[in-house]
Amino acid sequence: MAETREQIIGLADELIRERGFNAFSYSDISEPLGIRNSAVHYHFPTKADLGEAVVDAELERVAGFRRELGGLPGDEQLKQLVSVFYKSSKLRLICLMGSLTPDYNTFEEPLRGKVGEMCKEVLSWVTEALGKAREEGRLRFEGEARDRALLVISSLLSSLLLSRVLGKETFQRMLDQVLQDLGAAWRIKDI
Protein backbone atom coordinates (compact mmCIF):
# COMPACT_ATOMS: atom_id res chain seq x y z
CA MET A 1 0.00 0.00 0.00
CA ALA A 2 2.76 2.47 0.96
CA GLU A 3 4.69 1.49 -2.17
CA THR A 4 1.71 2.33 -4.40
CA ARG A 5 1.32 5.69 -2.64
CA GLU A 6 4.99 6.52 -3.24
CA GLN A 7 4.75 5.44 -6.89
CA ILE A 8 1.75 7.74 -7.36
CA ILE A 9 3.62 10.66 -5.79
CA GLY A 10 6.70 9.96 -7.91
CA LEU A 11 4.78 9.80 -11.18
CA ALA A 12 2.74 12.90 -10.29
CA ASP A 13 5.99 14.74 -9.61
CA GLU A 14 7.29 13.77 -13.07
CA LEU A 15 4.04 14.80 -14.76
CA ILE A 16 4.00 18.17 -13.02
CA ARG A 17 7.60 18.85 -14.08
CA GLU A 18 6.91 17.72 -17.64
CA ARG A 19 3.40 19.09 -18.29
CA GLY A 20 2.31 21.26 -15.38
CA PHE A 21 -0.15 20.58 -12.58
CA ASN A 22 -3.35 21.34 -14.48
CA ALA A 23 -2.31 19.31 -17.55
CA PHE A 24 -2.57 15.77 -16.18
CA SER A 25 -5.35 13.59 -14.83
CA TYR A 26 -5.56 10.61 -12.53
CA SER A 27 -5.74 8.34 -15.59
CA ASP A 28 -2.27 9.64 -16.56
CA ILE A 29 -1.13 8.08 -13.30
CA SER A 30 -3.28 4.98 -13.06
CA GLU A 31 -2.61 3.67 -16.57
CA PRO A 32 1.22 3.58 -16.42
CA LEU A 33 1.10 2.14 -12.91
CA GLY A 34 -1.43 -0.52 -13.93
CA ILE A 35 -3.93 0.49 -11.25
CA ARG A 36 -7.47 1.85 -11.29
CA ASN A 37 -8.31 5.51 -10.88
CA SER A 38 -10.10 4.52 -7.68
CA ALA A 39 -6.74 3.40 -6.25
CA VAL A 40 -5.32 6.87 -6.87
CA HIS A 41 -8.43 8.39 -5.25
CA TYR A 42 -8.03 6.04 -2.30
CA HIS A 43 -4.63 7.54 -1.51
CA PHE A 44 -5.43 11.07 -2.69
CA PRO A 45 -9.14 11.94 -2.69
CA THR A 46 -8.47 15.16 -4.59
CA LYS A 47 -5.81 16.28 -7.01
CA ALA A 48 -4.92 19.04 -4.55
CA ASP A 49 -4.20 16.34 -1.94
CA LEU A 50 -1.83 14.73 -4.42
CA GLY A 51 -0.22 18.08 -5.16
CA GLU A 52 0.35 18.64 -1.44
CA ALA A 53 2.02 15.24 -1.13
CA VAL A 54 4.31 16.02 -4.08
CA VAL A 55 5.30 19.35 -2.54
CA ASP A 56 5.84 17.69 0.86
CA ALA A 57 8.22 15.22 -0.78
CA GLU A 58 10.10 18.12 -2.40
CA LEU A 59 10.29 19.95 0.93
CA GLU A 60 11.85 16.84 2.44
CA ARG A 61 14.42 16.72 -0.38
CA VAL A 62 15.29 20.39 0.08
CA ALA A 63 15.62 19.95 3.85
CA GLY A 64 17.86 16.93 3.24
CA PHE A 65 20.06 18.91 0.84
CA ARG A 66 20.35 21.73 3.35
CA ARG A 67 21.38 19.33 6.12
CA GLU A 68 23.80 17.45 3.89
CA LEU A 69 25.38 20.51 2.31
CA GLY A 70 25.16 22.99 5.19
CA GLY A 71 28.80 22.57 6.20
CA LEU A 72 30.10 23.38 2.71
CA PRO A 73 31.18 26.86 1.66
CA GLY A 74 28.25 28.92 0.37
CA ASP A 75 29.36 28.86 -3.26
CA GLU A 76 29.70 25.07 -3.13
CA GLN A 77 26.12 24.82 -1.84
CA LEU A 78 25.04 26.99 -4.75
CA LYS A 79 27.02 24.76 -7.13
CA GLN A 80 25.16 21.70 -5.86
CA LEU A 81 21.81 23.43 -6.33
CA VAL A 82 22.74 24.57 -9.83
CA SER A 83 23.81 21.02 -10.67
CA VAL A 84 20.31 19.75 -9.82
CA PHE A 85 18.83 22.34 -12.17
CA TYR A 86 21.41 21.49 -14.83
CA LYS A 87 20.39 17.83 -14.72
CA SER A 88 16.77 18.91 -15.14
CA SER A 89 17.70 21.02 -18.16
CA LYS A 90 19.35 18.02 -19.81
CA LEU A 91 16.14 16.05 -19.29
CA ARG A 92 14.02 18.98 -20.54
CA LEU A 93 12.18 19.07 -17.21
CA ILE A 94 11.12 22.08 -15.21
CA CYS A 95 11.77 22.22 -11.49
CA LEU A 96 8.74 21.70 -9.26
CA MET A 97 8.70 25.34 -8.16
CA GLY A 98 8.83 26.53 -11.77
CA SER A 99 6.05 24.15 -12.74
CA LEU A 100 3.69 24.99 -9.91
CA THR A 101 4.05 28.76 -9.57
CA PRO A 102 2.38 29.59 -12.93
CA ASP A 103 -0.73 27.68 -11.76
CA TYR A 104 -0.64 29.16 -8.25
CA ASN A 105 -3.76 31.31 -8.73
CA THR A 106 -5.78 28.24 -9.73
CA PHE A 107 -4.97 26.43 -6.47
CA GLU A 108 -7.04 26.51 -3.32
CA GLU A 109 -5.69 26.32 0.18
CA PRO A 110 -3.87 24.35 1.51
CA LEU A 111 -2.02 23.64 -1.78
CA ARG A 112 -1.31 27.35 -2.17
CA GLY A 113 0.24 27.36 1.27
CA LYS A 114 2.42 24.38 0.44
CA VAL A 115 3.68 25.98 -2.77
CA GLY A 116 4.41 29.17 -0.82
CA GLU A 117 6.26 27.17 1.81
CA MET A 118 8.38 25.50 -0.86
CA CYS A 119 9.26 28.83 -2.48
CA LYS A 120 10.19 30.34 0.88
CA GLU A 121 12.35 27.34 1.78
CA VAL A 122 14.31 27.49 -1.47
CA LEU A 123 14.67 31.26 -1.12
CA SER A 124 15.91 30.85 2.45
CA TRP A 125 18.52 28.28 1.38
CA VAL A 126 19.83 30.33 -1.55
CA THR A 127 19.88 33.47 0.60
CA GLU A 128 21.92 31.72 3.30
CA ALA A 129 24.31 30.19 0.77
CA LEU A 130 24.91 33.51 -0.99
CA GLY A 131 25.36 35.38 2.28
CA LYS A 132 27.80 32.77 3.53
CA ALA A 133 29.73 32.79 0.25
CA ARG A 134 30.06 36.57 0.34
CA GLU A 135 31.25 36.49 3.98
CA GLU A 136 33.80 33.85 2.97
CA GLY A 137 34.99 36.02 0.10
CA ARG A 138 34.03 33.34 -2.41
CA LEU A 139 31.31 35.39 -4.18
CA ARG A 140 30.77 39.10 -4.56
CA PHE A 141 27.64 41.12 -5.14
CA GLU A 142 26.04 44.36 -4.06
CA GLY A 143 22.87 44.59 -1.99
CA GLU A 144 21.05 42.16 0.23
CA ALA A 145 21.67 38.43 -0.11
CA ARG A 146 17.90 37.84 -0.26
CA ASP A 147 17.51 40.18 -3.22
CA ARG A 148 20.38 38.47 -5.04
CA ALA A 149 18.85 35.07 -4.18
CA LEU A 150 15.62 36.14 -5.87
CA LEU A 151 17.58 36.98 -9.01
CA VAL A 152 19.51 33.70 -8.94
CA ILE A 153 16.33 31.67 -8.43
CA SER A 154 14.50 33.52 -11.19
CA SER A 155 17.46 32.85 -13.52
CA LEU A 156 17.40 29.16 -12.63
CA LEU A 157 13.65 28.92 -13.24
CA SER A 158 13.65 30.86 -16.50
CA SER A 159 16.72 29.06 -17.83
CA LEU A 160 14.83 25.76 -17.61
CA LEU A 161 11.84 27.22 -19.43
CA LEU A 162 13.88 28.86 -22.16
CA SER A 163 16.07 25.76 -22.60
CA ARG A 164 12.99 23.85 -23.68
CA VAL A 165 12.44 26.29 -26.51
CA LEU A 166 15.91 27.56 -27.37
CA GLY A 167 17.99 24.46 -26.64
CA LYS A 168 20.05 22.99 -23.82
CA GLU A 169 22.92 25.45 -24.27
CA THR A 170 20.58 28.24 -23.12
CA PHE A 171 20.82 27.00 -19.54
CA GLN A 172 24.60 27.13 -19.62
CA ARG A 173 24.74 30.57 -21.20
CA MET A 174 22.29 32.08 -18.73
CA LEU A 175 23.79 30.53 -15.64
CA ASP A 176 27.38 31.14 -16.64
CA GLN A 177 26.51 34.84 -16.93
CA VAL A 178 24.96 34.79 -13.45
CA LEU A 179 28.03 33.01 -12.07
CA GLN A 180 30.35 35.50 -13.76
CA ASP A 181 28.37 38.39 -12.28
CA LEU A 182 28.72 36.80 -8.83
CA GLY A 183 32.46 36.30 -9.29
CA ALA A 184 32.16 32.52 -8.92
CA ALA A 185 35.30 30.52 -9.64
CA TRP A 186 33.34 27.83 -11.48
CA ARG A 187 31.03 27.55 -14.47
CA ILE A 188 28.47 25.05 -15.71
CA LYS A 189 31.15 23.04 -17.57
CA ASP A 190 32.69 22.37 -14.12
CA ILE A 191 29.59 20.57 -12.87
Q: Does 22 reside within a domain?
A: no
The SS3 assignment for 180 reads helix
Q: Which domain holds residue 69?
A: 58-190
Nearest to 73 by CA among 161, 167, 10, 136: 136
Q: Does 31 reside within a domain?
A: no
Q: pTM value?
A: 0.95
Q: Does 21 reside within a domain?
A: no
In which residue ranges of the chain is pLDDT below 50?
none
Contact 85, 156 (CB under 8 A): yes
Nearest to 133 by CA among 185, 189, 56: 185
Q: Does 130 reside within a domain?
A: yes
Contacts of 88 (CB under 8 A, 6+ apart): 17, 94, 95, 160
pLDDT for 98-131, tens place per residue? 999 999 999 999 999 999 999 999 999 999 999 9
User: Residue 146 is part of a domain; what is its CATH number?
Assistant: 1.10.357.10
* Amino acid residing at 4: T
pLDDT for 138-149, tens place per residue? 999 999 999 999
**How many structural domains is the chain composed of?**
1
Q: Does 88 reside within a domain?
A: yes
Q: Does 12 reside within a domain?
A: no
